[in-house]
Chain A
Amino acid sequence: MSRYVPPKQGRVGQFLDVAVLLAMTFGALYAPLYLGLAGSSKSVPAIGEATWESLGQNATQVAQYQALGLTDPAAAAPIILARYDYGFSWLALAVMFVVVIGYYVMMLRLSDREYRDVIAEKFDGSNGRTRR
């Protein structure tokens, strides 16, 4: 009935662990940005000379735009006309759900193995079946 005694980690090891975690973090968050894959961009259809009428704005909407400082309809046009494209691939959607579910299944299974060790050592005094 032995208890698991973790090794003592030196300062260099602690520093390296933090560096690895930070590298993974910045990689995951910055990579989509630098690869241009981040976010859904809007598209703006080309139009000729913009007027409030051609932009489909009624009198109240025009008055509010002017109160916000956008007095020139050409300046407001990119904001008013921009639209998202919600077309998507069912395969990509399926892949996303498989990745999400697979991640949770993996995590729950590995967690449960570790948890059984914790409970065994806590309540029985032994460190269970998995030893490292």
Chain B
Amino acid sequence: MSDFDITSDTMDGMGPHGTKVGLLRVLGPAHVWALGVGIVLVGEYMGWNFAVGKGGAYAALLACWFAGILYTCVAMIDSEVTSTVAAAGGQYTQAKHIIGPLMAFNVGLYLVFAYTMLEAANAITAGYLISEVARLTGGVVELDQRPFIVLVIMFLAWLNYRGVLATLTFNLVITAIAFSAILILFLSTSGILGAGETHHAELMAGQAALPYGWIGVLAAIHFGLWFYLGIEGTTQAAEEVRSPARALPFGTLAGIMTLLIAATLTWYICVGLIPWEYLGDGVNGSVAPLFDAARLSGTPALVWLLGIGTLFATLASANGCINDASRAWFAMGRDKYLPGWFGAVHPKYRTPYRSIIFLVPIALAFALKVPLDQVVTFSILSGLLEYTFMPLNVILFRRKWPMGVIKRGYEHPFHPIPAIALLCLCSVAYFAVFLGYGTQLVAMIVFYIVASLWFHFRRYRFVSRAAQFTMPWPRPKGY
């Protein structure tokens, strides 16, 4: 039935023209874990604390667990679909095979925006951290953060340009260090090793616990997503892993478990050391809360460790975001959803180099010009639209190819409960976003509507029809 092989070492075979120079299949499960956790772990180092500002300390914890359930559903659904549709572009390629081209085009844009904005947020944090270290080590003049922001993005783009194995091995090492730093900080401040440093009862007394009541809990969910946003990015490695059916579910599910632990520990450490008003103000207060918590511990070694952890987390996340955004952009170019020029693979390094380079100035434009909370919100909104697509996607996937019709790398349990739960959780998250950033949400959706019409009535004419469907599956049921 099919004239291609997605596991071929010599042909990429996934695009309409199946080039001889494809992406390299060199990654294992640990790289998938490093990609997913690497992108997300920075959410523990910065950004999540806006949830404390939105609703108080307990609201942030409830938001953390609420978002944890949402992302567990995402990881389960993603593991099944991606282990079956194993191709670069991740959810974009899934949508192309399961729902249709216009949905795929939109999902591709969600991915690119979510990751590019997250990359910009990471660069802002890295710049802030370097200036803060300069101040703490005796600098008398405030350091200009902009050169460091540019340097971070340019260096990581260069690393991505040079090859995926080095890029994600680098991510694996720095992500492991950043995660270990959280564990060490928890052990050191919680009283498990040495005297306890935390003051939960005193810092969460009175109004500090739930200053806005239950509406604050709902509002906090907006930034609760930040604890885990990006774990779904593991799917972008699908065309570069040696064994998609094993590596993708293993890496993704191990990743969400790691993040659930890291998120809860982060909350516990930070609210036990930092007053909630300061913690919740991520612009004028605590930009890097774990780093601030280490400062409050009074142990210089912890300050250095968490400083390094914060820097590594931002670098790992930005690195993974460049990897993922470029794969999504590349996959759309390869299918001609975008100009085919972007669908090129570097003849030597086997990376989507044109897409990597093209997205650099866009990330810089936002990192240098837009405040952190706005950049974070842009990323969250794109992610939320993507999570709304996922339950629709898996329901249609199971309906069009019922169990047993095609071979699945992983079958997620209790279907359709995770899909329905995810849809309900997304509705609550929309309300949370509405409470603070409804205008941006509507502006973004208006953009997607205009972009959809542009794609349907203009761009789609350049796309081959049958060549988009590259999986060796039988005809979908009902079509």
A112 within 8 A of B: yes
Interface secondary structure of B, over-half rule: helix
Q: Supply 10 further A-B pairs (C-beta < 8 A) apart from A28-B446, A29-B366, A39-B437.
A: A9-B339, A18-B339, A21-B338, A22-B362, A38-B440, A40-B435, A64-B278, A67-B296, A100-B430, A111-B99
- Asked whether A104 lies within 8 Å of B388 as measured between CB atoms, the reply is yes
For the complex, is B340 an interface residue (Cβ under 8 Å from A)?
A: yes
Residues 272-304 of B, flagged 1 when their CB comes within 8 A of A and 0 if not, give 011101100100110000001001101000000
Sampled A-B contacts (23; CB under 8 Å): A3-B465, A14-B341, A28-B444, A28-B446, A29-B443, A37-B439, A39-B374, A39-B440, A60-B199, A60-B202, A65-B278, A68-B274, A79-B278, A80-B278, A84-B219, A92-B438, A96-B441, A103-B448, A110-B452, A112-B99, A114-B101, A116-B479, A119-B479
Q: Identify which of B53, B100, B336, B373 contacts A118 (C-beta below 8 A).
A: B100
CB distance from A80 to the nearest CB of B (A): 5
Q: How far is the CA of A7 from the CA of B451 in the complex (A)?
A: 21
Contact A118 B466 (CB under 8 A): yes
Query: In residues 426-479 of chain B, which contact A (Cβ within 8 Å)?
Result: 430-431, 434-452, 454, 456, 458-466, 468-469, 475-476, 479
Contact A79 B101 (CB under 8 A): no
CB contact between B447 and one of A28, A68, A108 (< 8 Å): that residue: A28
Per-position contact with B for A103-127: 1 when CB-CB < 8 Å, else 0?
1101110111111111101110001
Report which residue of A29, A58, A70 has the largest number of chain B beta carbons within 10 angstroms of its beta carbon: A29
**A68-B296, A84-B219 known; A58+B205 contact, CB < 8 A:** yes
Q: Does B130 contact A (CB under 8 A)?
A: no
Task: Indicate if the CB atoms of A64 and B203 lie closer than 8 Å.
Answer: yes
List the 8 closest pairs (A to B, CB-CB), nearest first.
Answer: A111-B100, A28-B447, A40-B436, A115-B100, A14-B339, A60-B202, A121-B466, A122-B466
* Total interface residues in chain B, CB < 8 Å: 85
B69 CB–A CB distance under 8 Å: no
A121 to B215, CA, bound (A): 51
Cβ contacts under 8 Å, B373 to chain A: 39
Q: Mark A17-47, 1 if CB is under 8 A from B, else 0.
A: 1101110111111011100011110000000
Query: What chain A residues lie within 8 Å of B100 (beta carbons)?
Result: 108, 110-115, 118
Question: Is B454 touching A24 in the complex (CB atoms < 8 A)?
Answer: yes
Kindly identify, within residues 46 to 105 of chain A, every residue whose CB is under 8 Å from any CB belonging to chain B.
56-61, 64-65, 67-68, 70, 76, 78-80, 82-84, 86, 88, 92-93, 95-97, 99-100, 103-104
Q: Contact partner of A9 among B54, B296, B340, CB < 8 A? A: B340
Is B10 engaged at the interface, CB distance under 8 Å to the other chain?
no
Are B464 and A6 in contact, with the CB atoms below 8 A?
yes
Shortest CB-to-CB span from A113 to chain B, Å, is 8
Contact status A115-B434, CB under 8 Å? no
**Any chain A CB within 8 A of the CB of B206?**
yes
A67-B295, A86-B215, A119-B469 given as contacts; is B438 within 8 A of A96 (CB)? yes
B365-407 to A contact mask, C-beta < 8 Å, 1/0: 1100010011001100000000010001000000000000000
Residue of B nearest to A89 (CB): B438
Cβ–Cβ contact A84 & B296, under 8 A? no
- Distance between A50 CB and nearest chain B CB, rounded to angstroms: 13
B454 and A108 within 8 A (CB): no
